[in-house]
Every structure is written in structure tokens, then in C-alpha cells.
Amino acid sequence: MRITSGWASGADRKQSPNIDKGHRSRECIVLHYTAGYTAASAIATFASPAGKSSAHFVVETDGRVTQMVNCNDTAWHAGGSVFRGGGQVNRRSIGIEIVNPGYHFRSTTGQILNWERKPIPASRLAPFPGMIEARDPWVGSATALWPLYPEAQLAAVEAIIRACIAAYPSIAEVVGHRDVDTVRRLKVDPGPAFPMPRMRRILGDRQDPADAGGVVLVVDSPTTPLNIRGGPGTSFDKLDRGPLRHGLEVVELEVRGDWIKVRVGDGNSAFEGWCFGEYLRPKG
Ligand SMILES: [Zn+2]
């Protein structure tokens, strides 16, 4: 997965009306569970103005990803939260909603009850690979059952996080909704069944792509050659050694927002500069 102009490759798109245009900064990724059993119910809520909420991404149990808000716009997923002492977390974050119904209980007769303590058929929990038992003061003194997250879904969340931190190097932390809802204390998601350490570790893996041999990109600009500039934006001068012809292969060095720093050629004749990412696609 790769984010270009705020949209992720490999994700379905369904625009939510519940957004603020633009984004102040991208400092963290906030992970949520949907408190529902299917992506369809979450997508319907976020697609409706009456839902008054949204997230950049919704991840189904089978790993299918739907993007509902461009990463360059603000989604409504963490209102009233606090991150690193500051508010306006929506304007400072990317929100990922992961389909999971959250806590359940077991009745004295062995029935599974939902959070409202109403019995639910076992078939609704079929997509989830079992449940863990955990007490959480947020839920009360009873032991609650927390559905586990399927591996395909976790792999998809990882892919989104990797794509986001590649596109937005300003992202400094991956947090759960609970971690930032510290004033209202209304949220427990994504809950104890979610492997937060696994997601947090991804930030530690961030490396200079040039060290790893580099991702090869192909210039995809059939009508006009692609300008290459001294910095990430149109305010930087075009390099004399550009523009780059359609079909040329370059190596990705760094991503900053919509701009990608590339190396062109190799050996003594190689040079580096910045191109608008819309016109570069991964090779193959
Ligand atoms: Zn949440």
C-alpha cells in the first residue's frame, strides 16, 4: 500500500461527508474498534451526515480496507481527546477504525451477551478467532470477553500504518483511542484483545529506504515530462537536469506529504531531486 495525494492504493473508496477540509499536522495514528460486527455498518454510519463521525480508514475482518476520508483532510474520530498535552486531536491525526464488536459477557447459562447484555447468536462472532477473558475497570468488575482480531485484519492495519508513516514522516506515535480519550474517559477501544505493541513497533522499523536498496518507481506522465525540483514543493527551483521522461525508472529516497525525493541514474552521473508523487508509480 502506498499513499499518493492522500489516497491509499489498494483500498476501496467511499467519501464521508463528515470531514473538515485540510489537516493541521499528522502527529499520531489513532486506532479504534468499530463496536460493530461488520464493516458495512461502520461505513454506513460514516457515509451518513447523521452519523456525525468518520475515520480515514475502515478495516474489515478479512483485511479489506475502505478509505472514507482523504489523509489530507480531517476525519471526525477522536473528538475531545488529548495527545501530548494538546487538543484538536482530529486535526493532528489519522484515524483507523477496525471492525470488532468489543466486549461481551457470558451469562450464567453460558450464553454470549453483547455490551447491552442482550444474547447474540454465535454466528455473529464467527469472523473472530476466539475471545480472550479480561477484566477492565472501564467495563466494570465482571470478567468480559473480548473478540480477537483476525490476522488478515491485523496485517491490513499494519500495511496502513506503514503507508502512513512513509507518506507523513511527522507521525511520531501510534495510539489507541483509549490512550487519548483521557479527559472524557468514554472510550476503551481498541481494547485488550488488540496487539498495540505490535503496531507501535512499526514506527521503530522506519528506515531510510536508500539503505534498503530503495524502492524503484517509474515516471508515469505520458503527456508532459515530469519536473524534478530542489525541494518538496513547487516553490523550489526545477533542476537543470530534468525534466524526467515518461517511463524512466528512479529510486525513492524519501516521502514528504505528496512529494517524493528520488535518485535518478547511478554512479557518477546520478542526481537527486523532488517530484510530485502523483506521477510516480511503483515498478511492476
Ligand atoms: Zn474509538
pTM higher than 0.75, yes or no?
A: no
Q: How far, in Å, from the CA of 247 to the mean position of ligand 1?
A: 43
The pLDDT value recorded for residue 209 is 47
Q: Which amino acid is at 256?
A: R
Residues facing 249 on adjacent strands: 218
**From-to residues of CATH 3.40.80.10 in the chain:** 3-101+149-204
Beta strand residue intervals within 128-214, DSSP E: 131-134, 144-147, 173-176
Asked if residue 137 has a cis previous peptide bond (ω within 30° of 0), the answer is: no
Q: Where does 3-101+149-204 sit in CATH, by number? A: 3.40.80.10
Task: Of 186-190, 221-225, 268-272, give the lowest mean pLDDT range.
Answer: 268-272
Q: Please report which confidence band the pLDDT of residue 267 belongs to, taking 50, 70 and 90 as the band edges.
A: confident
| H or E segment and range at residue 153 | helix 151-167
Q: How far, in Å, from the CA of 46 to the mean position of ligand 1?
A: 13
Q: How far, in Å, from the CA of 179 to the mean position of ligand 1?
A: 10
- Alpha carbon distance 100, 57 (integer Å): 14
Q: How far, in Å, from the CA of 50 to the mean position of ligand 1?
A: 18
Q: How far, in Å, from the CA of 119 to the mean position of ligand 1?
A: 24
What is the percent of the chain with per-residue pLDDT over 70, rounded to a whole number? 96
Instruction: Please give the average per-residue pLDDT across 156-171, as a whole number.
Output: 94
Residues facing 216 on adjacent strands: 251
Mean pLDDT for all residues in the chain: 92
Look at domain 215-282 and name its CATH class: mainly beta
The pLDDT value recorded for residue 25 is 86
Pairing mode, if any, of strands 249-256 and 131-134? Answer: unpaired
Instruction: Please give the average per-residue pLDDT across 155-168, as a whole number.
Output: 96
Q: How far, in Å, from the CA of 33 to the mean position of ligand 1?
A: 6
Instruction: Please give the average per-residue pLDDT across 8-37, as a whole number.
Output: 95
Q: How far, in Å, from the CA of 78 to the mean position of ligand 1?
A: 7
Cβ neighbours for 58, distance < 8 A, ≥ 6 positions apart = 34, 39, 42, 43, 46, 65, 66, 68, 97, 99
Q: How far, in Å, from the CA of 97 to the mean position of ligand 1?
A: 7
For the chain, state the CA radius of gyration: 21
Q: Please report which confidence band the pLDDT of residue 138 belongs to, taking 50, 70 and 90 as the band edges.
A: confident
Beta strand residue intervals within 101-155, DSSP E: 105-106, 112-113, 131-134, 144-147
Max CA pair span of the chain = 77
The pLDDT value recorded for residue 211 is 47
Residue pLDDT, tens place only, 226-266: 999 999 899 899 999 999 999 999 988 777 778 888 999 88
Mapping DSSP onto H, E and C, the string for 103-130 reads: CEEECCCCCEECCCCCECCHHHHCCCCC
Q: How far, in Å, from the CA of 174 to the mean position of ligand 1?
A: 14
Residue pLDDT, tens place only, 183-218: 888 899 999 999 998 999 898 776 544 444 567 899
Q: Which amino acid is at 103?
A: Y
Task: Of 66-75, 90-99, 104-113, 135-144, give the lowest mean pLDDT range.
Answer: 135-144
- How are the residues of the chain apportioned to helix, strand and coil, as percentages rounded to the nearest 5? 20, 30, 50
Residue pLDDT, tens place only, 18-28: 999 998 889 99
C-alpha cell at 155: 496485517
Q: Which residue has the cell 454466528?
A: 123
Residues in the chain: 284
The pLDDT value recorded for residue 214 is 63
Of 3, 281, 43, 14, whose CA–CA distance to 169 is shortest?
3
Instruction: Please give the average per-residue pLDDT across 266-270, as a whole number.
Output: 81
Task: Of 178-182, 191-195, 200-204, 280-284, give the lowest mean pLDDT range.
Answer: 280-284
